[in-house]
Amino acid sequence: MSLRSVLLGVAVLALAGSRSTGEAITADRILHNGRIVTVDSNFRIAEALAIRFSPAGSEIMAVGSNSEVMALRGPDTRLTDLQGRVVIPGLIDSHLHFSLLGIEAAFEADLRRSMTVSDVVQDIKRLAERRKPASGQWLVARGWDEHKYERPFTRWDIDAVVPDNPVQLERVYRGLAVNTAVFKLMGIRDDDPSSWPDWWLKDPASFTLDDRIVRETRNVTVNGQPRQLPVPTGMFLGNAVQLIKVRAPAPSLEDQVLAVRYGSEEMTRLGVTGIVDPGGGRRVMRSYQEAYRRGWLKFRILQVYEGMWNTQKPEEIAAHFDSIPFQNLGDRFLRWRGTKWQIDGGAGTRSSWVSEPFVDWEKIEGKPNHGYHWAEDPEREAQLRRVVDRGWEVHTHATGDEGQRQTVDLYAKLMSEIRTKNPSADLRWSVIHAYLPMEKGSQMLEKMAKNGIIAAVNPSFIWHQGRSFAKNLGRERMARLQPFRSYLKAGVKIAVGSDYGTSPYSPWIGMYALLTRKDLWGDVHNANETIGLQDALRAMTINNAFLTYSNEWTGSLEPGKVADLVVLDLRDINELERNPERIWDMEKSVLLTLVDGRPAFQRDGFRF
């Protein structure tokens, strides 16, 4: 539908309203004299936008030139002169473990930008100074990655600044580090062999290739005699984390509810108006519901997946979903829909299910390491059928090419069966992470495009973990990781998420990675797989709305949709493509975020 036909429709409505009520239909809000990036099918740039409110919420009445939209001005219409600034649709994050965000900001430390052992230690020191913990009180931080540092940090590094409080440091993925105070809580003493568990000096026989206790040879006094022994440094990887039997206490429900309030304020500050929480669980969902009830949920949680599913027996899965008498529960602000699955691990921990082994396996594992997987094809098919037959859609974590091959093949089989019975079935299933669709034995692009399977990618991994991924996969395979341009060229829709708490939650980091594929160290991982600004913005707005069955009412700035939008202190959106380094200014350039037409964030000094 053309812009003028839309405006004509508005004019007809206005005349109809004037005949029946004597009053023309006018806008409640008009934003004018701007650069409205619609992200419609033609990616139009307009000058003005009109909003009308009803008991059901906001609705965009028209988008067009200043003169066309100002024709909808009435005596009570409030005007905002954008003074040439850019407006974009509200950004949507397709993969954000949101419940952690407010907890981390309020009570913990963020290690994701720490680049050295000294950085990590100083972050923990600052956390202790901020929290001023009582003796024995836990300190928690998240986001370390041993591949970033000149050497893996140790418990003795942490003991130097926090000797008396137990410290729990969560890795970006599948790892945990603790200080000596945690071992003491477990009853373990360095100088007392009788307190050492069986795994203290030797790995358990049950360990797989990605399970590891990091050890260091130290001078230890044992029974009054000095000895040199390889003792744990406090860093545990893979399933080894299960050996740590004491943990920081879980936050209370009230803390979680408060965290929702803070977290949604933080995300709207960055221009995010909606997210997907990929597997929140019942307790997390309860905190979301309570925050929503109190009016503290400032943006949209478009989907909360029911998961995580990996090794459960099909009959257990069936019983679980039979106990849930509904799916797609909620409204436009909070919806419980979809299921989350996991088939393998991650590239950073050398646990993705890959056809070619991780590099340097000779030195690191001693035998070819192909990662791991939770289920063979027949087992996974039996699992998936239990939810698909009950009407739930599926979204699967798959990082290795073999994991993606299994997932796409099974999706295609099940989708074909469903569409044979119901040709109009609306299936929006995704492969989460979707790292390697183009390896020799697992070319998945054509099959994904043919079946409408969505690649739910996380570009920020390239920026945040590019070096560790490249070390494990090798430079050539790293160049094919998350092939954004190849996905689009093949006709595969990509949806973009941050995967916080693995990566930072700022959406602008993801946009930077889409446009540059540059990592924290300045290395570019295959510029041929970058995409342009238009495609990047679509992937962060309308594509994510499509993934969540929300594209009919959000994701772009078009008449009939809700007024979820962001005003940027920027005069030309294309400047971000001409000079991607400008993207780093965007976190501080968000002037206004509207959610359903109401300010969820408004920067001091900006008048609305």
Tell me the pLDDT tens digit for each residue of 59-118.
999 999 999 999 999 999 999 999 999 999 999 999 999 998 988 888 899 999 899 999
Least confident among 102-111, 355-364, 368-377: 102-111
| pLDDT digits 0-9 by tens, 170-185 | 999 899 999 999 999 9
| pLDDT digits 0-9 by tens, 521-565 | 999 999 999 999 999 999 999 999 999 999 999 999 999 999 999
Which pLDDT belongs to residue 4? Answer: 42
User: How far apart are alpha carbons 380 and 151 in whole angstroms?
Assistant: 39
| pLDDT digits 0-9 by tens, 210-245 | 899 999 999 988 878 889 999 999 999 999 999 999
460: Cα separation from own chain's centroid: 9
Least confident among 250-264, 410-424, 449-463, 476-490: 250-264
Least confident among 101-115, 130-144, 177-191, 592-606: 101-115
Q: Could you tell me which of 166, 337, 259 has the C-alpha nearest to residue 501? A: 259
pLDDT band at 478 (very low <50, low <70, confident <90, very high): very high
The pLDDT > 70 percentage for the chain reads 96
List the domains of the chain with CATH numbers: 101-243 (3.10.310.70)
Burial class (CB in 10 A: 0-12, 13-18, 19+), 582: middle
> Which H or E run contains 540?
none
The stretch 383-411 carries a mean pLDDT of 97
pLDDT band at 1 (very low <50, low <70, confident <90, very high): very low
pLDDT of residue 12 exceeding 70? no
Which pLDDT belongs to residue 16? Answer: 37
Which pLDDT belongs to residue 23? Answer: 67
Residue 110's alpha-carbon distances to 100, 428, 434, 505, 607, in angstroms, are: 11, 34, 26, 11, 33
Residue found under tokens 């890795």: 171
143: Cα separation from own chain's centroid: 14
